[in-house]
Chain A
């Protein structure tokens, strides 16, 4: 062929865009472009060639189209408007016939020449035709594109006999469709078991029985010898054993072969498929390939899930942030309505592997999980596939299942030990990246995000992120996600701690004690967390629960602390920090004030403010300066005010009997004593205390977590107040006569709260949840309960009342306050 082309270099330079040409307007080709547009919509000017004379549609949905459950319009993924809106040139019905790698251009059947900077092969695969006599007869069709479906529908209109050669996924879906369309269907399968690559004998048998019950004839171990002809048209199929089956149409669905012809002639390295590296680049650096036509690390795929992953890696590479495709583990579902079938991984069973099987004859359920070295390596489910995704997740993650081995086969709800009756728990515990909708490659995280963004019905979810919009076999999962995320179905199960576990906060707290779990990774392992290292909501909670359960023993995990608690200061919107030293009971003195003033100047605090908690806040301190400012404040006798912590904040006081004409007791003095007793304690949430000297209540004690109102005869102790988002006045807990009793009761109440509330639950919502009576009964039903709680609090305080500022000022955890280094470009250039 002559070197073609007037290269339109000038135009490319004008638009500033690189020219990207895609061969193949199928699932992978268009998905790759979608991914690219998502990352960088302005980088490439895109032209897509498609052999088929139509827009991009969901090929896997041809089965429901054949079965009459969908129309073509319903399975279009990207209509013409998508091409228009994104300025993509679609050349459809015009296959590319020649690729000139040297001159970087492609030429189509109609003679169109298109230069490229980057080229993507997405040519999919071709159906394999078994080389038997009669294979080219009219009436012999394959099942690959819409034209094939139209041919089958044409035949079905006339009724009669259909023979499907091939009892795999594709063949059975074709058979199902034709049978629903009223044809008399026979499936001819070479192997003894249907779908033998996905199913074992038992499941294959159940499937065969069900299909026969529906009126299909299934011939296994049947080898085709020839396709018979009558009047120039197909008339039947002859088997090697001599049997003859009449046929008005024969569907060949025996397998596929990567479509590599074009790539091969163009000189690309081709084996079974077009050979690509982890970034989907072929042997020619300007040419990429994606989808069924590729061979990656020796593997070719015939399902869509790997293709989504390939497209992500490809787009990452094309936008200069290479991520790399690592190969895929695949799972299979059969899209035949009323038949639930799932299979994944390897279930052939080898030396070291072990089978766990469950059968429920009455319900027609068969489940088999194959385990090797304490890991799931394969699963076959028939009749009940609810746990398919869970097993697939275990398989992909290579999770150690020895702890749940006993219950594994019963499914996730059982194996996780929690909420047995709750089907949502199974879905809740799937990890964020677990695939919900295989047809459209939508993960759980995406579905939840789309629900969070306002899609509050199955329909809304379908139209926004496409989950369950195709074959619909995941609709129940989407419904569960809606219920979990929106809490509509609250009765069906308690809320789990977070998406990483199926346990509730209370379960986790109980199990930590029962099983003596003492480290975060141990909790995650023992309680089968579904994520490798939790998330930003469960990690801080677990850290607190362990700290509370094992005082003095558990070593605080800094990486599970929110930044404020890790840096012992409050992060501000500009990334600097605020510093609030403790002022016991709101008291201060000239020496402290002078030190604060000096520190404010020395570290250039841009704002100095009196807080709502009776102390002083210094704003705008850099993280590098924190240890130094703390050292200065320490030197004047001040310690951290924990203004940043889920911890004791302030003890607000009024002047009380010392000065006030109404004061009944020394409220200031008591406040200082309480703060000295309680400071440093970590709690489920922040905890505020106040002491007022008389019922005028100038310290606002009745909106604090713990409030003392002094009266002539002693002290009223109030709990569960909150002045924040939702104001709640306190409940009266009890009245005591002495300061000593007030202190002990305060300690006991705090300890009860620390031991039983959920993380991030302040005393107000906690008491609303458990009830004041419960709190009272825990504290007062047994004569020595208060003393016991208080004693536990004091033990824990022995380990908490160490000023974190002093530790850091003394050089502890320097890494948290210093940079790795600093880059000064000039010096670097000099050195060059």
Chain B
């Protein structure tokens, strides 16, 4: 029993203001963001506009500017901001004792499972 959270390693592997990627076999690649203010967020690494890799965008506040056409995507909600429309799925994330955890079911794109399956 591993629990519902997937440990993806220490917080210091992502520089503040940057993002790194986590490919999922048979699933969607995930982008994990570290904001300049020290918060972490995870989104599917695909811009709602034309699938640009959000992990490569410039992060400002809790927003990433997509590298392809500069849409601004909220890291908190995955929604396109400022009049653009679209939303990318977010992956629930928590930081505990210096390590980053993603919600396992969301990583795998499944509906959450009860704790004691």
Contacts and interface: CB of A to CB of B under 8 A. Distances in A.
Interface of A: 316, 321, 323, 432, 445-446, 448-450, 452-453, 531-536, 539-540, 558-563, 566-567, 571, 573, 575, 815, 818-826, 828, 831-832
A697 B70 CA distance: 38
Given A449-B82, A536-B57, A823 B25 contact: yes
B22 A821 contact: yes
Given A823-B6, A828-B104, A536 B20 contact: no
Contact of A533 (B14, B57, B60): B60
Given A571-B53, A820-B14, 17 more contacts: A316-B77, A532-B37, A533-B36, A534-B60, A559-B15, A559-B16, A559-B36, A561-B58, A563-B57, A566-B56, A820-B9, A823-B25, A824-B25, A825-B25, A825-B27, A825-B108, A828-B2
Contacts of A323: 76-77
Nearest to B58: A536
Nearest to A40: B87
B22 A559 contact: no
Contact of A823 (B24, B37, B83): B24
B2 A832 contact: yes
> Is chain B's interface secondary structure helix, strand, loop, or mixed overall?
loop
21 contacts: A321-B90, A432-B82, A446-B82, A446-B83, A449-B83, A452-B82, A531-B61, A533-B17, A533-B61, A536-B60, A536-B65, A536-B70, A536-B72, A558-B18, A559-B58, A559-B59, A562-B58, A563-B56, A563-B67, A573-B68, A819-B22
Contact of A820 (B8, B57, B58): B8
Contacts of B25: 822-826
A452 B27 CA distance: 36
Contacts of A448: 82
Given A449-B83, A825-B108, A539 B58 contact: yes
Contacts of B70: 536
Interface string B11-31: 001111110111111110010
Given A323-B76, A532-B61, A562 B67 contact: yes
A531 B65 CA distance: 15
Contacts of B27: 823, 825
Interface residues of B, number: 49
Interface of B: 1-2, 6, 8-9, 13-18, 20-27, 30, 32, 36-37, 50-53, 56-61, 65, 67-68, 70, 72, 76-78, 81-83, 90, 104, 107-108, 117
Contact of B23 (A558, A822, A826): A822
A121 to B, nearest CB: 25
A432 B9 CA distance: 34
Nearest to A312: B77
Contacts of A558: 15, 18
B22 A815 contact: no
A819 B61 contact: no
Given A536-B60, A559-B15, A825 B26 contact: yes
Q: Which 8 A-B pairs have the closest CB atoms?
A: A449-B83, A536-B65, A559-B17, A563-B56, A563-B67, A536-B58, A823-B24, A449-B82
Contacts of B82: 432, 445-446, 448-449, 452
A567 B56 contact: yes
Contacts of B83: 446, 449-450, 452-453
A540 B58 contact: yes
A566 B20 CA distance: 13
B21 A815 contact: no
Nearest to B76: A323
Contacts of B26: 825
A317 to B, nearest CB: 12
A620 B16 CA distance: 29
A128 B83 CA distance: 41
A563 B25 CA distance: 25
A40 to B, nearest CB: 10
Contact of A531 (B53, B60, B76, B108): B60
A308 B15 CA distance: 34
Nearest to A822: B23
A119 to B, nearest CB: 23
B5 to A, nearest CB: 12
A320 to B, nearest CB: 9
A819 B14 CA distance: 11
Q: Which of A323, A449, A575 is the most central at the interface, judged by chain B CB atoms within 10 Å of its CB?
A: A575
Contacts of B108: 823, 825, 828
